[in-house]
Amino acid sequence: MSSSAACLRLAGVRYAVGAASSARGVTEILSGVDLTARRGEVTVIIGPNGAGKTTTLSCAQGLLRPSAGTVHLLGEDPFRAGAGLRARVGVMLQDGGLPQSVKPRTLLTHVAKLHQDPWPLDNLIERLDLSRFLSTSIRRLSGGQKQRVALAAALIGSPELVFLDEPSAGLDPQSRQLVFDLIGHLRSQGIGIVLTTHLLEEAQHLADSVYILKDGVVVRHGTVSELTGIGADDHDRPASRRLSFASPRIMTSGELDEAPFTLELDSDSNRAGARWGVPAIASPADLASLAAWWERIGLFPAEISFEARTLEDVFWEVSAP
Ligand SMILES: Nc1ncnc2c1ncn2[C@@H]1O[C@H](COP(=O)(O)OP(=O)(O)OP(=O)(O)O)[C@@H](O)[C@H]1O
pLDDT tens across 282-298, in order? 889 999 999 999 999 99
What's the domain count of the chain?
2
Distance 280 CA to ligand 1 centre (A): 37
Do residues 122 and 155 both lie within one domain?
Answer: yes
Q: In this structure, what are the phi and psi dihedrals at residue 85, rounded to the nearest 5 degrees?
A: -70, -40
| pLDDT the model gives residue 288 | 97
Q: Are residues 46 and 187 in the same domain?
A: yes
pLDDT digits (tens, 9 = 90+) for 171-219: 899 989 999 999 999 999 999 999 999 889 889 889 999 999 999 999 9
Q: Are residues 221 and 245 in the same domain?
A: no
Give the 3-state secondary structure percentages of the chain, helix then strand then coil, rounded to 5.
Answer: 35, 25, 40
pLDDT band at residue 151 using 50, 70 and 90 as cut-offs: very high
283 CA to middle of ligand 1, Å? 41
Span 254-278, average pLDDT: 93
Task: State the CATH number of the domain containing residue 207.
Answer: 3.40.50.300
The pick from 53, 211, 219 for probing ligand 1's pocket by mutation, whose C-beta has the most ligand atoms within 8 angstroms, reads: 53
Measured from the Cα of 166, ligand 1's closest atom is: 27
Q: Is 247 in the pocket of ligand 1 (CB under 6 A)?
A: no
Q: What is the pLDDT of residue 307?
A: 81
Question: Which ranges in the chain belong to alpha helices (H)?
Answer: 53-61, 83-86, 104-113, 121-127, 143-155, 173-188, 200-206, 224-228, 253-258, 284-297, 311-319
Considering the domain architecture, whether residues 221 and 298 belong to the same structural domain is answered as no
Q: What angle do CA 69, 4, 221 make, to 5 degrees?
A: 55
In angstroms, the CA 18 to CA 20 distance is: 7
pLDDT mean across residues, the chain: 90
Q: What is the CA radius of gyration of the chain?
A: 25
Q: Is 54 in the pocket of ligand 1 (CB under 6 A)?
A: yes
Q: Is the beta carbon of 47 within 6 A of some atom in ligand 1?
A: yes
Residue 117 lies in a domain: yes
Cα(52)–Cα(59) distance, rounded to whole angstroms? 10
Residue 236 lies in a domain: no
Q: What is the ipTM, given to two decimal places? A: 0.96
Q: Could you read off the pLDDT of 86-118 as tens digits, one per residue?
A: 889 999 876 667 888 999 999 999 999 988 899
**Cβ-Cβ contacts under 8 Å for 264 (sequence gap 6 or more):** 276, 277, 278, 279
Domain end among 169, 197, 228: 228
Any domain includes 71: yes
- Inside any domain, residue 141: yes
**pLDDT value of position 24:** 78
Rounded to whole angstroms, how far apart are CA atoms 215 and 50?
7
Domain limit, last residue, from 200, 228, 256: 228
Residue 1 lies in a domain: no
Residue 63 lies in a domain: yes
Are residue 81 and residue 148 in the same domain, yes or no? yes
The Cα 194–Cα 41 span in angstroms is: 8
Pick the residue whose CA is nearest to atom 7 on ligand 1: 17
Say what the pTM is.
0.81
| Co-location of 147 and 17 in the same domain | yes
Gap between the Cα atoms of 20 and 16, Å rounded = 11
The answer to whether residue 126 scores a pLDDT higher than 90 is yes
Query: Whole-angstrom distance between the N-terminal and C-terminal Cα of the chain?
Result: 30
d(CA 33, CA 14): 7
Nearest CA residue ID for atom 30, ligand 1? 50
Domain match, 199 and 79 both: yes
Average pLDDT, stretch 54-63? Answer: 94
Residue nearest to atom 2 of ligand 1 (CA): 17
Q: Is residue 176 part of a domain?
A: yes
Model confidence at 71, in pLDDT bands (50, 70, 90)?
very high
* Residue with CA nearest ligand 1 atom 10: 29
Residue 60 lies in domain: 6-228
Cβ of 53 below 6 Å from ligand 1: yes
